Amino acid sequence: MRFFSLNEINLGRDLADRHIFCTIALMRFTKMHGLGNDYIYIDGPLSSVAVASELARAVSNRHTGIGGDGLIIIEPSSLADLRMTIYNADGSRAQMCGNGLRCVAKYAVDRQLVSSMTMTIETDAGLRHVECLRSDATLTIVRVNMGVPILDAKAMHISIDASPVLNYPMTFDGQDFFVTCVSMGNPHAVIIVPDISAILLTRLGPKIETAPVFQQRINVHFVQVDNAAHLTMKTWERGSGATQACGTGACAVCVAGVLTERCGRSVQVTLPGGGLDVEWASDDHVYMEGPAVEVFTGDWPV
């Protein structure tokens, strides 16, 4: 299949309007979400990174596109059962997406791309082991081994003379915060606050995401500790903005809570879109469990 640029697509539509014969291919897509963290999924590789980036921006637009937090491409893998490649809504490439992983697992089980409810998925952050605990036509509950958290500041491209970055004092938009940084394959800044409702996420989120100290930008999470087993969080995702949920972020929040002695190693994390169960287990791996939902399928002109 040939992939056309958006300019070519628009030209084709203009020609069609003038009753001049033209043919535009259609790409099948599926929209899925994990706790409202929604992506557009396509099965099969695109011709280039540039095409994928442009397509991600087009389909993610909530006014003129399908609407979503980004684009996820599902492909064969020589290392695992499948590969997922993630593009944020702004077209930038992301290493990892916990909610996306769960949805890829549901997609694979529902369409019999795999022969088992347990599978391995290749990502830009490495291999991840995934198990569908139960599944039906609409909802699948998925448990993911998200791997060992990374605490090294240099690995996260953070220019701070401290590693790990734990309760590190920083000032953003004239406000003082204590920041803990954790990578779950992608970098996260976790900020624990007494009252999450007082946080102006749309103001603070982009300022922290793009702060010069975070050389490759960062995901931002404000967290309220309700008790040792329950955390409430709001998320500003790098490249996508405010989202209903962030699976890797929930894992990072659990790790940050343990390291700063604010919660236990097994917690429920409540996000705007719902709850995730997260455990930083004795094997040093972080496990996340939550839903994956298919919304609809359709065709996009390419």
Q: Which residues are catalytic, by number?
A: 97, 246
| CA–CA separation, 91 and 198 (whole Å) | 31
Q: What residues pair up with 237 in beta bridges, in sequence order?
A: 241
Going by C-beta distance under 8 Å and a sequence separation of 6 or more, which residues neighbour residue 198?
none
What's the one-letter identity of residue 217? R
> Which residue's entry shows tokens 């989202």?
243
| CA–CA separation, 5 and 13 (whole Å) | 13
| CA–CA separation, 83 and 76 (whole Å) | 6
The number of helices, as runs of H, and strands, as runs of E, in the chain is 5, 17
Return the number of other C-beta atoms located less than 10 Å from residue 182's C-beta. 28
Question: Residues in the chain, how many?
Answer: 302
Return the number of other C-beta atoms located less than 10 Å from residue 68's C-beta. 24
| CA–CA separation, 227 and 222 (whole Å) | 15
